Structure 1
Amino acid sequence: MDMATDPSVSFWIAAIIATLFVGMSKGGLPMMAMLGVPILSVFIAPGKAAGLLLPMYILADVYAVWLFRHSFSKRNVAILIPAAAIGVVVGFVLVSRVPVEATKLVVALIGLGYLANALRSRLAGDYAARPADVPRGLFWGALAGFTSYISHAGGPPYQAYTLPQRMAKMTFAGTAAIVFAAVNWMKLPFYVLAGQLDWQSLTQISILAPVALFGAWAGYRVTTVLPERAFFVLVNTALGLLSLKLLWEVAEAWL
């Protein structure tokens, strides 16, 4: 069912909810991002859903970068953005050769692997922060750019690299906002070339734009009032749920 020919109330309700979640994820609640494309995919093809939501990501990114302009890690941004650019280019080149399910499986294993290692460290009493470093940053940043391009799933690789650094919640959220703002701008011309985003999308985009901005504002407000511990519990819980969800999707596709 194509969004240009589906004016149904159900489609617009789903589009508004998906866009709101995208905006909230950019306001500092990354756990909301995993809901956008699946909600819209009930009505339109997943590729089209990703294409429609990309401008919403970009619009919310602009506002989020302004919101977090004083709260981010300069070192992480300097390492991760160039690394992610490599991943985006590789994703564009390999998108027709790498099954989406394979990418989802990798992302799921990364998320679950990180959580298992974090649990092991906690049980062992190892609470030391791991500083940002270039070799790990290049690897995880490139992987985040690649998985973000293939399936809007750059969060788990990013979190696997940044969560062990134990940054303050606003610094963690601000760094993510700036890094993925750059990633989404990098993806835009490739999405246009791939036909996932076209001029017919402009009407829907113009209608949904205020929802994305409101979502970013709402997400930022929630982030500022959440206690530090509760914020990271939510981030880790969402990472686990996303990983399990991706594993389920892979199992459904392959079995």
Structure 2
Amino acid sequence: MITEPTFYAAAIPAVTLYGLSKGGFSGVAILSMPLLSLVISPVAAAAIVLPVLMVQDVVTVWSYRRTWDGKVLAYLAPGALAGIATGYAFASVVAEPAVRIIVGLIAVVFCLDRWLRPGAATAPPRPHNLMSATLLGWISGYTSFVIHVGGPPFNMYAMPRGLKRDVFVGTAALFFAAINLIKVGPFIALGQMTLDNLATAAVLFPVAILSNLAGIWLVRRLPATAFYAIIYALTFVVGAVLLIGGVRALL
């Protein structure tokens, strides 16, 4: 188990951001992995974060257990499973900067289209589309496995479907809870789920739960219009950070 104070100085704010993100503010945890990577290797950080995310999943799924959309999950699930499988198969050769650029570019264009296209904000909900659901589900599963950032692709599919605030959050909670559960096997196969990493994750569970409850409390007190405005803004910021970081890494 990690005992260095410098690790927890980075881990506590990182886990707090994950809790707020799991509580409904999807995307706010974009700084979590970079924070942890300042004090430990990205591989170890990913292994420690996964159990923390799973504990937060339990809290969020229970809180929104009556508000979720089965159709969104059904459309996204096949692509997400394929994305996780791809992430596992190519874990040793993945070009992380390229992944960040692709996801970042898609997220930025998606938000700009929403903000700049006349009538986009008042357009009726889009019908489900198997092709876009499979593609975005695949990207979400893949990026969730590789860099723990699967939120933007999910948002890009779910938000145009006109879901109510709590239904959107509940659907996202179930989607990523399932993804994180499926990721356990591949992470074990890759040798990342050690007892030391699990013990370190367990120390962070109280922070994870409290910050998650805080996120849920805040979301439920926001009007739906304000909530979606924040989610679009967070999706854009996450996309921009991923895009800039990916370009810098390549250069």
- Shorter-chain TM-score bucket reads over 0.9
Distance in 1 (CA, whole Å) between partners of 2:40 and 2:201 is: 15
Segment drifting more, 27-36 vs 67-76: 27-36
Q: Percent identity over the alignment?
A: 31
Secondary structure class of the residue paired with 1:97: coil
Per-residue CA deviations over 1:23-71 (Å, capped at 9, x if unaligned) read: 2211111132212211111101112111111111111101111111011
Matched, 1:251 2:221: no
Q: CA deviation at 1:88?
A: 0.3
Aligned partners of 1:29, 1:178: CA distance in 2, in Å? 15
Deviation at 1:97, TM superposition (A): 2.6
Residue 128 of structure 1 corresponds to 124
For residues 165-191 of structure 1, what are the alpha-carbon distances to aligned partners after superposition, in whole Å with 9 as ceiling and x for unaligned? Answer: 121111111111000000011111111
Give distance in 1, aligned partners of 2:217 and 2:81.
Answer: 30
Q: Once the 2 structures are TM-superposed, how far is the Cα of residue 126 of structure 1 from its aligned partner? A: 5.3
Amino acid at match of 2:106: I
Q: Give yes or no for the alignment of 1:159 onto 2:152.
A: no
* Deviation for aligned residue 1:124: 6.2
Determine the C-alpha separation between the residues in 2 that align with 1:135 and 1:105. 22
Measure, in 2, the Cα distance between the counterparts of 1:163 and 1:124. Answer: 12
Aligned partner of residue 30 in structure 1, secondary structure = coil
Which whole-Å CA distance do the structure 2 matches of 1:125 and 1:149 have between them? Answer: 32
Amino acid at match of 1:118: R
- Of the three residues 79, 84, 89, the one matched with 2:80 is 84
Aligned residues: CA RMSD: 1.7
Counterpart Cα distance in 2 of 1:22 and 1:100: 21
In the alignment, residue 210 of structure 2 is paired with which amino acid? F
Q: Which residue of 2 aligns with 1:215?
A: 211
Given the alignment of the two structures, is residue 111 of structure 1 paired with residue 118 of structure 2, yes or no?
no
Residue 186 (structure 2) aligns with:
190
Q: Which residue of 2 aligns with 1:31?
A: 27
Distance of aligned partners of 1:143 and 1:43 in 2 relative to their CA distance in 1, 3 Å threshold: same
Indicate conservation of the 8 Å contact 1:130/1:165, yes or no. yes
Q: TM-score, normalised by structure 2?
A: 0.94
Output the amino acid matched with 1:193: A
Contact 1:107/1:153 (<8 A) preserved: no
**Which residue of structure 2 lines up, in the alignment, with residue 72 of structure 1?**
68
Q: What displacement does 1:208 show?
A: 0.7
CA distance in 2, matches of 1:213, 1:54: 14
Q: Does 1:231 align with 2:227?
A: yes
AA aligned to 1:179 is F
1:81-140, CA deviations, whole angstroms, 9 ceiling, x for partnerless residues? 232111100111122233011111111011012112212434567522112233322221
Please list every run of 5 or more consecutive structure 1 residues that lacks an aligned counterpart in the other structure: none
Deviation at 1:195, TM superposition (A): 2.6
Comparing 30-39 and 155-164, the one that deviates more: 30-39
CA contact (8 A) 1:81 1:182 kept: no
Q: Give the counterpart letter for 1:205 in structure 2.
A: A
Q: Please say if residues 22 and 212 of structure 2, whose CA atoms lie closer than 8 Å, have aligned partners that are also in contact.
A: yes
Q: Deviations over 1:156-214 (max 9, x none)?
A: 11111111112111111111100000001111111122233311112212211111111
What is the CA–CA distance in structure 2 between the aligned matches of 1:13 and 1:27, rounded to whole Å? 22
Superposed, which structure 2 residues align to 1:33-72 within 5 Å?
A: 33-72=29-68
Number of equivalent positions: 251
Q: Which residue identity is paired with 1:159?
A: N
Does the Cα contact within 8 Å between 1:72 and 1:173 map onto a contact in 2?
yes
Could you tell me how far apart the structure 1 residues matched to 2:63 and 2:118 are?
Answer: 32
Structure 2 contact 83–139 (Cα < 8 Å) conserved: yes
What letter matches 2:171 in structure 1? T
Partner AA of 1:94 in structure 2: F
Scaled by the length of structure 1, the TM-score of the pair is: 0.92
Q: 2:139 aligns with which of 143, 155, 158?
A: 143
